[in-house]
Structures are given as C-alpha cells and as structure tokens.
Homo-oligomer: A and B are copies of this chain.
C-alpha cells in the first residue's frame, strides 16, 4: 500500500486530520524532567537532548491512539548537535513503534548525487560494503525544491523503492513567504508553478484514494492561495502548517480538503505540545506532570475544531 493511502487510513481511523509537531523547546519541558537530567549531566546538550526525548515520549504515549502522525522538526534537535540528533532519531523510532506515521520535517535541498545522499539518509538506506543501514525512520520527509527536478528525483526513486513519501514546499505559512513564492510569472504565482511540478512529480505515485505519495506543504495562513492550489493539484495531499499559534483558523484551512473531507493533514506544534502552558488548559491540567494530558486534550479540541469546518 502506498504511504499516502496508509496516512489516509490512519486519518479515517482516528477521525482526526491532525499531525503533532514535535518541536520541543527547553522552556516547554516541565522542570521535573529537565532537573533530573541537569543533575546527572549538568547544563549540557546531552541533558537538553535527554529531556527532549523524555518529553516527546510522554507526548507520544498520550496521543498515539488519537492522531495519525507526528512531525518532528529536525532543526530543534540539530541545535543540540550530536546528542540532539540522537534524540531526534529515537523520537522517530519511538513514534514509529507506536504505529504513528512519521513526517520528518527536514526541508532538505540539494541536487543529484547530493540529494541522493540526503535521500539515502532520510528515506532509504546507506550501503557499506555488502551491508545496508537505515538511520532516520521517516515515512515522509519535507523537501525544498527551489533547485528544480534535480533536487527531487533522487527522493522519488526512494519513494518508489521503499514505499515512502515527500511533501514539497509550495506555499509556506510565514508572513514573508510571498517574497519569492507570490511573484507572478505568466499570470501565475511561483507557488502555482511549483504546484504544477509537484503534480507532475507525483503522477507515478497515486494511490487508491486518488492522492499521491508526493504531497505539498501549503500554509493555513493563506486561504485564497490554498483554495487555488487545492483545485490545481487534485492528486496532491497537503501538509498544512500555520494552524493556531501562527494564526491559521479551521475556517481558513477547510479549503485544503476536498469535497469528501480528505486531502490534507494539519500540523500544530506549540498548540499541542505546549498546551500545558496555555491558560485554557492550565486550570484542568495544573500539575506539571499533566503536560501530556494537556497535549491529548489539545489534540481532541483540534480535531473537533477542524471537523466543525471540513
């Protein structure tokens, strides 16, 4: 089964098109976790990384049965060097063990043999002598295709070979995304041209539900653009960032879904993993040990909010 069919099945099972962004910052992590590791390892990247992993595991334990997927953002782990990247890898492994789809938000970009190396690392395998190894346990990764097809083809080969998928940046959620992405070319903005390429790259990977393993990143904060892209990209599944903290509302992003209510998965990071710090959850989840329960409640609330509109 193609990966996007698996993802759609998981969304249908849980009734929840929410992906939990695992982008932990140290200030999100309750002191009872960090203090233990600071005591053991001092104020070190190792202590930070161990705290992040413990925090992630508790979040995963609390949400794995009610969401289809997680999206760890590798930058947050690279920040802490080797220890951080180890925590990233273990987070992905743990989420996969729990049956979650893992979307590695790595936004890598390069060409030809270099893109191949990234794809070996993040979707496929590296080979040493007669042995092969898979390092990062991703089902999907995000890719930045400013460099064109040369930067995407190596990933497509691994999508084919290993049953994986990618999400290519089309229209991102940030305020200045238009500086390049909205430039008009032949009456169309660059993000639509990117959308056409993405549909083309995905043509060989269309599954039972009509959606391809080659998806697109389309921000929740630009509803008009998202609507155009949904129409122009009928086979492309959308990964939608920007809900909640960045200002995207369920009403705005409903256009990312098709008439059957599928076609997209919506990310929330801070809104879920830092729910325990928000006033609306503080009252019910007052003890710092309740942070994962607050995350679970935030997933349920997000599901209800989304389903209101799609």
Which residues of chain A have a CB within 8 Å of any CB of chain B? 23, 25-26, 38, 42-45, 47-48, 73, 75-76, 78-82, 84-86, 89, 107-115, 117-118, 120-122, 126, 128-131, 133, 135-136, 144-151, 169, 172-181, 183-186, 190, 193-194, 197
Contacts and interface: CB of A to CB of B under 8 A. Distances in A.
Given A148-B178, A185-B184, A47 B79 contact: no
Contact of A180 (B121, B173, B184, B193): B193
A118 B128 CA distance: 29
A121 B75 contact: yes
A118 B75 contact: yes
Contacts of A107: 108-110, 144
- A-B pairs, 4 with minimum CB distance: A43-B129, A81-B135, A148-B176, A148-B179
A104 to B, nearest CB: 12
A89 B173 CA distance: 32
29 contacts: A25-B113, A38-B128, A44-B133, A48-B126, A73-B110, A75-B115, A75-B118, A78-B118, A78-B121, A79-B118, A79-B121, A81-B89, A81-B126, A82-B89, A107-B109, A111-B172, A112-B174, A146-B169, A146-B172, A148-B172, A148-B174, A149-B176, A150-B175, A150-B176, A180-B193, A183-B183, A183-B185, A184-B185, A184-B186
A47 B81 CA distance: 21
A129 B29 CA distance: 13
Given A81-B133, A110-B75, A183 B174 contact: no
A43 B130 contact: yes
A194 B146 CA distance: 11
Contacts of A144: 107, 109, 144, 146-147
Contacts of A85: 82, 85
A212 B129 CA distance: 45
Number of copies of this chain that the complex holds: 2
Contacts of A73: 110, 114, 117
Contact of A146 (B79, B112, B115, B146): B146
Given A45-B135, A81-B121, A146 B180 contact: yes
Given A80-B126, A126-B80, A180-B193, A169 B147 contact: yes
A81 B43 CA distance: 25
A190 B190 CA distance: 9
A23 B112 CA distance: 13
A46 to B, nearest CB: 9
A79 B117 contact: yes
A1 B121 CA distance: 38
Contacts of A147: 144, 169, 172, 174, 176-177, 180-181
Contact of A128 (B23, B43, B185): B43
Contacts of A186: 183-184
A135 B146 CA distance: 28
